């Protein structure tokens, strides 16, 4: 945690992914410390920080320190367009993120860091699970790794937004092609970059071949207990995750109780695979 305040207490959730920090206030970090936090998030994939009371404008301002903010193509908040309202209660038909995915991978330049702050938590449940895409790739056989390095896949925003969430918007949702394995631009590590939320097909394969390969990879991610962790939410917990390094899955196991908060997300770069 080089560059972060020495007073910080750290608890790792898994050897490969996830840490919980406490003992400091995010809004007090200077620019160099914010850069150190970004690097730590890239290395650990997901970092949760307890007891971080802040307003929505303060969260937006902190998010801007992480980078230019992403505007969600389907569900940007009307009052605060740089944010996404995360709210599920007894009247909800679904909860956002209830499948393994990385945020808005259908964009040409998908999100980098997501910053979710939960204000209201249920009496139990509501955890978010995270999986390291570094380890998801590294735990495949060498032959499969070599094959995946040659492939690219189409990501389609219609899959979740019109499909799972039933959007009726006339706007065209993004669809873009990205490498199946992408290089993290800061850590230099390779990460699996397909997900069940947005990835539609592998380019150059028949539908049967593509579906079979994607199903295998999605199952590998979902069953990869050794490279997964869970974040247990408490009021005013802020969790950062690097969409280039992890996938996440929100657990809706608290119906009819309420879980509510706000997310801001920074723009990333177009995924690439370094030679």
Q: For the domain made up of 9-267, give the CATH fold.
A: Double-stranded beta-helix (3.60.130)
Q: Residue 188: left if φ>0, alpha if ψ -120 to 50, beta else—which one?
A: left
Give me the active site residues, please: 101, 103, 248, 263
pLDDT at 255: 95
pLDDT at 242: 98
d(CA 256, CA 271): 39
Collect contacts of 217-222 with beta carbons under 8 A, ≥24 apart. Answer: 217/192, 218/100, 218/194, 220/136, 220/139, 220/140, 221/100, 221/131, 221/133, 221/136, 221/192, 221/195, 221/196, 221/247, 222/100, 222/131
Per-residue pLDDT 10s for the chain (275 aa) are 778 888 899 999 999 999 999 999 999 999 999 999 999 999 999 999 999 999 999 999 999 999 999 998 888 899 999 999 999 999 998 888 889 999 999 999 999 999 999 999 999 999 999 999 999 999 999 999 999 999 999 999 988 788 666 777 777 889 999 999 999 999 999 999 999 999 999 999 999 999 999 999 999 999 999 999 999 999 999 999 999 999 999 999 999 999 999 999 999 999 999 98
SS3 241: strand
Task: Provide the 8-state DSSP code for 172.
Answer: P
pLDDT at 165: 67
Query: Would you kindly state where each structural domain of the chain is located, as residue ranges?
Result: 9-267
d(CA 104, CA 265): 10
What tokens appear for 36 in the block? 């150190």
pLDDT at 3: 86
pLDDT at 94: 84
Best CA proximity match to 44, nearest among 68, 10, 17, 81: 17
């Amino acid at each position: 945690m080089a560059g972060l305040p020495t007073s910080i207490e750290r608890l790792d959730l898994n050897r490969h992914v996830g840490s919980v920090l406490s003992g400091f206030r995010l809004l007090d970090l200077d620019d160099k410390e914010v850069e150190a936090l970004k690097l730590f998030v890239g290395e650990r994939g997901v970092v949760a920080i307890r007891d971080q009371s802040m307003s929505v404008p303060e969260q937006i301002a902190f998010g801007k320190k992480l980078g230019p903010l992403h505007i969600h193509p389907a569900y940007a908040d009307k009052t605060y367009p740089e944010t996404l309202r995360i709210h599920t209660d007894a009247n909800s038909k679904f909860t956002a993120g209830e499948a393994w995915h990385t945020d808005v991978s259908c964009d040409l330049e998908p999100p980098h860091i997501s910053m979710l702050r939960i204000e209201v938590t249920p009496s139990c449940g509501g955890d978010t699970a995270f999986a390291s895409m570094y380890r998801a790739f590294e735990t495949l056989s060498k032959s499969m790794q070599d094959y995946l390095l040659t492939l690219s896949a189409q990501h389609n925003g219609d899959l979740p937004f019109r499909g799972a969430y039933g959007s009726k918007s006339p706007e065209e949702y993004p669809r873009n092609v990205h490498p199946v394995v992408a290089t993290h631009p800061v850590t230099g590590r390779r990460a699996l970059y397909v997900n069940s939320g947005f990835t539609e097909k592998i380019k150059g394969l028949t539908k049967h071949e593509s579906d079979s390969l994607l199903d295998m990879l999605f199952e590998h991610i979902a069953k990869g207990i050794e490279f997964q962790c869970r974040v247990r939410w408490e009021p005013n917990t802020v969790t950062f995750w690097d969409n280039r390094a992890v996938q996440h899955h929100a657990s809706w196991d608290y119906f009819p109780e309420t879980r509510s908060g706000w997310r801001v997300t920074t723009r990333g770069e177009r995924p690439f695979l370094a030679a």
